[in-house]
Amino acid sequence: MNVGILALQGAFAEHGAVLDRLGAAHFEIRQRRDLKRPMDALILPGGESTVMGKLLRELDLFDPLAEQIRKGLPVFGTCAGLILLAREVEGGDPCFGCMDISVRRNAYGRQLGSFYAREDFSGLGKVPMTFIRAPTIKSVGPGARALASVDGQIVAARQGRMLVTAFHPELNEDTSVHEYFLGMVRK
By annotation, the residues acting in catalysis are 79, 168, 170
> Of 31, 137, 24, which Cα lies nearest the Cα of 89?
137
> Of 153, 159, 161, which Cα lies nearest the Cα of 181?
161
First to last CA, the chain: 12
Contacts of 70 (CB under 8 A, 6+ apart): 98
The residue count for the chain = 187
